[in-house]
C-alpha cells in the first residue's frame, strides 16, 4: 500500500459509451483509503455501474475511457489500460443478476474462483470456503451450495458469495448492488455480516447502491452521484439531517418510513364483500384434506386493502394463487364477487378473472414482443367491444396517469426499462377497471426515486379507481404505503393479523419484529412518529 494508505485514487475519470450523448462518468475523482467503507449512492444510470466496470477490470471494449487510476503503492496509470492492480480485489455480485453458469453447482464455481484468486488447489479452496461459511453466523452449510444455481435459493447464494469474498482476504471489495432485493431480513443480516467481516479483515469496501439500506447499515462515507458526477459526500447521518444538497435531500426523502400514526382508512371494511375465504389451509395434505382443523378465514371488501407480509417461502404466493383460483384448493372455500370459485368451470373462472389485475415486480410479466400501445389495449380488446377511438382515448388517459404518455407507442416492451415496464403494468391495470388488484413486490429492483414514483402511481390508481388491493410483500414500508391491514405469514401459516399500524405499534411475534426492524434504518428516521 501507499504511504498515505490509499487503496486507489481515481482522477478525472471519463467513461462514455459509443454514440451516447452524455458520458456515464464525467471527470470523476475518488479516493478510497485502506479499511474505509464508501457507499456510492445514485439512481440507475447515474454512473456507478461504469465506475464498477472500470475498477473491476471488465469495462466494455467500446467504452471511451480517459483519466487515471493509481492502486495502492503502484504508479498512476491510464484508466483505459487493462489494470493489473498490486492489491487483492474481490467482487461481490448480486445473486439475482445470475452471476453463475447454470449447468455447474454453485459450490464448484465458488471453489474455482477462490482457487484462482488465492492460487491454491481447488480442494483447499473448497475447505477454505467451508471454514468461511462456518465463521459467518447464520450462513448455510457448504452442502447447501452443492447444487445447480437454479436449485439454490438466492439468499443462500449470497451467503456463498460473501464467504468466497471473505476467504480471499482481499484488500478491496467491490460490491455491486450485492444484496438488493433479497428480502428485508436477509438484506439486514447479510449487510451486518458484511460489516463485521470488513471490520475483522480490514478491507476497503466500495458498495454501489440505489437504496439507502447499505448507507444506513454499513456506515462509512456516502458518495452521492448523479449524471456521472459527485454531488456531495459525507456520512449518512449528516446527509439525512437536511443540511445537504437539494438532490441528496430528495434522495433521502424518497426513502419510505414506517409511521405509527393511524392513517385515514382508505376504505377498509367499506362496500360489499369482494373476496371471502373460508377454512383455507396451506399446510393441508391434498391426499387427506379431512385432517384440517382451523384453516384461514377472512374477507376483503370492495375498495379495501390487505397486505400479505412474509418472505419468500412464507406461503404468501401459494395463498394468493389459491385465492384467485389459479391453483386447486385442497381445503376450504373461496368466494369472489359472490361466486364460489370451486363450483365454476375453468371457462367461467377465466371470465371472472377479467376483474382482477396483476402488478408485479417480475420484469417478464409483460409480453416482450408486444408494443407499448398493444399492451395497454389488450384487456380492452379482449373483454369489451369498443371502437378504436374509444380504446385510444382510454389508453392515452391510462398512459398519462402513469407518466408514459410521451413514450413512442410502437416501441416493443422488451426495449423498456424495468421502471417503465412496471408503470406499463399499472396502465394496463387501469384500463381493465379491475375490482381487485394483486400487487406483488411492485418496487423490487427499482432505485429510491423510481420506488417513490411507483408508490405514487399505485396510490393514485387506488384512490381514483378504488379497486381492492391485495399486496404481497416482505417490506412493511410497502405494505403500509399500499394497504391498511396485514397478515404476517411464516412457514405457510398466518402468525399475526390486524391493522398495519397496530402491528407496527405492538408486534406480537419475533418474526414480525424482525421484519419491521429490517426496514427501519438506524440514524435515518426523521419524521415524527416514525418507527
Partner 1 sequence: MRTSSQAAPMLRTILHVVGWSGLGLIALAVVLSDFLAHAPAGAANALHMLEAPSSAYPFGTDLLGRDMLSESLHGLSVTLRHALLAALIAIALGGLSGAVAARLPHGAGFMLRGAMGVFAAIPVLLLTILAIGLTARLYAPLAAGLAAAPFAFVRAFDRVDRQSRSTHAQYARATGISVAMLLRRDLTYEFRDTLAPVAARALAAVTIILSTVSFLGFGTTPPARDLGLMIGAAKAYYLQAWWTAAFPALVLLVLILCARLAAGLDEGERP
62/271 with CB nearer partner 1 = 62
291/351 with CB nearer partner 1 = 351
347/387 with CB nearer partner 1 = 347
**Minimum distance of partner 1 from residue 330's CB (angstroms):** 19
Q: In which residue are the cell numbers 404466493 written?
A: 317
326/397 with CB nearer partner 1 = 326
Q: How far, in Å, CA of 338 to CA of 326, rounded?
A: 18
- Number of Cβ within a 10 Å radius of residue 39: 27
Cell digits for 282? Answer: 396451506
CB 203 within 8 A of CB 172: yes
Give every CB contact of residue 154 below 8 A, 6+ residues apart in sequence.
95, 96, 182
353/508 with CB nearer partner 1 = 353
What's the N-to-C CA distance of the chain in angstroms? 43
**Minimum distance of partner 1 from residue 18's CB (angstroms):** 9
Q: How far, in Å, CA of 362 to CA of 380, rounded?
A: 23
For partner 1, the binding residues (CB under 8 A) are 60-62, 324, 326, 350-358, 360, 362, 364-370, 378-379, 381-383, 432, 434
**Minimum distance of partner 1 from residue 366's CB (angstroms):** 6
Tally of CA atoms within 13 A in the half-sphere of 474 that contains its CB:
22
Task: Tell me whether strands 221-226 and 229-235 are parallel, antiparallel or unpaired.
Answer: antiparallel
Q: How far, in Å, CA of 296 to CA of 472, rounded?
A: 17
Tally of CA atoms within 13 A in the half-sphere of 28 that contains its CB:
30
Q: How far, in Å, CA of 330 to CA of 298, rounded?
A: 17
* Angle in degrees, 0-180, between the axes of helices 372-383 and 388-402, rounded to the nearest 10: 130
**Minimum distance of partner 1 from residue 412's CB (angstroms):** 9
80/225 with CB nearer partner 1 = 80
Q: What are φ and ψ of residue 305, in 5° steps?
A: -145, 145
**Minimum distance of partner 1 from residue 469's CB (angstroms):** 15
299/378 with CB nearer partner 1 = 378
Amino acid at each position: 500500500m501507499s504511504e498515505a494508505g490509499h487503496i486507489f485514487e481515481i482522477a478525472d475519470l471519463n467513461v462514455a459509451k459509443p454514440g451516447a450523448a452524455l458520458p456515464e462518468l464525467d471527470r470523476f475523482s475518488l479516493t478510497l483509503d485502506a479499511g474505509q467503507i464508501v457507499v456510492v449512492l445514485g439512481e440507475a444510470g447515474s454512473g456507478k455501474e461504469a465506475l464498477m466496470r472500470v475498477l473491476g477490470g471488465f469495462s466494455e471494449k467500446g467504452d471511451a475511457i480517459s483519466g487515471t487510476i493509481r492502486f495502492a503503492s503502484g504508479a498512476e496509470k491510464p484508466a483505459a489500460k487493462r489494470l493489473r492492480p498490486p492489491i487483492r480485489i474481490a467482487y461481490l455480485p448480486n445473486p439475482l443478476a445470475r452471476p453463475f453458469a447454470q449447468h455447474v453447482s454453485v459450490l464448484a464455481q465458488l471453489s474455482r474462483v477462490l482457487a484462482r484468486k488465492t492460487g491454491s488447489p481447488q480442494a483447499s479452496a473448497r475447505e477454505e470456503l467451508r471454514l468461511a461459511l462456518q465463521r459467518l453466523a447464520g450462513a448455510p452449510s457448504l452442502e447447501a451450495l452443492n447444487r445447480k444455481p437454479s436449485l439454490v435459493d438466492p439468499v443462500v447464494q449470497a451467503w456463498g458469495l460473501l464467504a468466497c469474498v471473505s476467504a480471499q482476504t482481499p484488500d478491496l471489495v467491490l460490491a455491486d448492488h450485492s444484496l438488493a432485493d433479497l428480502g428485508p431480513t436477509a438484506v439486514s443480516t447479510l449487510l451486518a455480516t458484511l460489516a463485521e467481516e470488513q471490520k475483522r479483515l480490514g478491507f476497503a469496501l466500495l458498495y454501489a447502491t440505489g437504496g439507502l439500506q447499505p448507507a444506513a447499515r454499513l456506515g462509512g462515507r456516502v458518495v452521492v452521484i448523479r449524471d456521472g458526477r459527485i454531488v456531495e459526500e459525507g456520512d449518512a447521518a449528516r446527509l439525512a439531517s437536511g443540511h445537504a444538497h437539494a438532490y441528496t435531500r430528495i434522495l433521502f426523502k424518497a426513502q419510505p418510513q414506517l409511521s405509527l400514526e393511524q392513517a385515514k382508512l382508505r376504505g377498509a371494511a367499506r362496500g360489499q364483500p369482494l373476496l371471502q375465504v373460508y377454512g383455507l389451509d396451506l399446510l393441508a395434505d391434498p391426499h387427506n384434506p379431512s385432517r384440517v382443523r382451523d384453516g384461514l378465514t377472512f374477507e376483503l371488501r370492495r375498495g379495501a386493502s390487505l397486505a400479505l407480509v412474509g418472505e419468500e417461502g412464507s406461503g404468501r404466493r401459494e395463498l394468493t394463487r389459491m385465492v384467485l383460483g389459479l391453483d386447486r384448493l385442497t381445503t376450504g372455500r373461496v368466494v369472489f364477487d359472490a361466486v364460489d370459485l370451486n363450483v365454476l368451470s375453468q371457462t367461467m373462472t377465466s371470465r371472472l378473472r377479467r376483474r382482477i389485475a396483476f402488478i408485479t415486480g417480475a420484469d417478464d410479466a409483460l409480453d416482450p414482443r408486444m408494443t407499448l400501445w398493444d399492451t395497454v389495449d389488450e384487456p380492452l380488446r379482449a373483454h369489451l367491444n369498443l371502437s378504436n377511438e374509444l380504446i385510444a382515448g382510454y389508453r392515452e388517459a391510462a398512459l398519462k396517469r402513469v407518466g408514459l404518455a410521451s413514450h413512442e407507442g410502437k416501441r416493443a416492451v422488451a426495449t423498456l426499462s424495468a421502471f417503465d415496464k412496471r408503470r406499463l403494468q399499472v396502465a394496463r391495470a387501469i384500463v381493465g377497471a379491475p375490482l381487485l388488484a394483486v400487487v406483488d413486490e411492485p418496487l423490487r429492483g427499482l432505485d429510491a426515486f423510481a420506488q417513490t414514483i411507483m408508490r405514487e402511481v399505485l396510490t393514485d390508481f387506488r384512490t381514483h379507481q378504488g379497486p381492492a388491493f391485495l399486496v404481497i410483500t416482505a417490506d412493511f414500508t410497502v405494505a403500509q404505503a399500499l394497504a391498511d391491514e396485514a397478515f404476517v405469514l411464516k412457514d405457510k401459516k398466518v402468525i399475526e393479523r390486524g391493522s398495519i399500524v397496530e402491528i407496527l405499534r405492538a408486534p406480537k411475534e419475533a418474526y414480525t419484529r424482525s421484519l419491521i426492524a429490517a426496514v427501519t434504518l438506524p440514524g435515518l428516521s426523521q419524521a415524527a412518529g416514525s418507527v
